[in-house]
Homo-oligomer: A and B are copies of this chain.
């Protein structure tokens, strides 16, 4: 731990989710562009990458090429690739395609669960053992992502008891990790720390990850607080790719390069090269054809040299 009087971990275990959570709401981009993006993320030093999702191609056209993406991942054997699934059919598809590290998403709020997956939280929770069994059969890992862990766009604040119910079942089903997701980017440090601490009490032996959005600008503040209570499994999305279909124009995930900048400046190890990561962010911008919300991408690393004579002198 470093950074007195802030208590911070020496390193975090960053997971890049841009190729899945970032791209899923975009218009479909060519598979070749996705592979170039993956290449640039690998080159920057990322070692855990969520590559795609095995979900309905009708509902999420941007993930319709999941099989084609999966078929190319052998190029980068050093990477811990994973995929998101929303039911056991998706899990079977992913495993058939050769991806054995799966994130299974369960919304803690019924409103979001119905809208997102067409079933209640309870029904989604009941499917956990089946997915864990399928993954364990092939020697893979299964994480349960608890969506709307703090707030639901339909049901309002999510009762912590609902989250405990999901993580409790996940724990008893033998998942390798649970991940608390702030799906609409409303959580702030106090509530994050409270939920993390209470989930940790409920499932002490299961690692807890964090998936924050920056929709209201508080993404990094929330991650800082979580790091202070020992959370190291943290998601981020290159360029801040992603968003929420309920809030047009709203920024989405925490930008990977902003998280890496924050960590690097605080001497918290990420294993990532920031300069190469900014190239990957530019690749992501080119791939989707629009400016991404990352502030760091606009400003550049602080090593950037300023022009010799600025405008705006005061006197």
A304 touches B247 (CB 8 A): yes
Size class of the contact patch on chain A? 35 or more
Residue of B nearest to A187 (CB): B265
B193 touches A117 (CB 8 A): no
B197 touches A154 (CB 8 A): no
- Asked if A137 CB lies within 8 Å of chain B CBs, one says no
Distance between A91 CB and nearest chain B CB, rounded to angstroms: 12
- Asked if A186 CB lies within 8 Å of chain B CBs, one says yes
Also in contact, A188 and B247, with CB within 8 A (given A216-B296, A220-B221): no
Residue of B nearest to A313 (CB): B59
B251 touches A298 (CB 8 A): yes
Query: SS class of chain A's interface: helix, strand, loop or mixed?
Result: loop
A217 touches B56 (CB 8 A): no
Extra contacts, 17 of them, besides A86-B314, A217-B220 (Cβ < 8 A), are A3-B190, A6-B189, A59-B313, A86-B315, A105-B314, A116-B310, A151-B302, A153-B310, A189-B262, A190-B267, A215-B299, A218-B261, A220-B220, A244-B299, A246-B306, A247-B299, A249-B298
27 residue pairs A–B, Cβ–Cβ below 8 Å = A5-B228, A6-B189, A6-B193, A53-B314, A55-B314, A59-B314, A115-B309, A115-B313, A118-B315, A185-B299, A187-B265, A188-B262, A188-B265, A189-B266, A190-B267, A216-B258, A216-B262, A216-B295, A216-B302, A217-B294, A217-B295, A224-B225, A245-B311, A247-B306, A249-B298, A250-B295, A293-B295
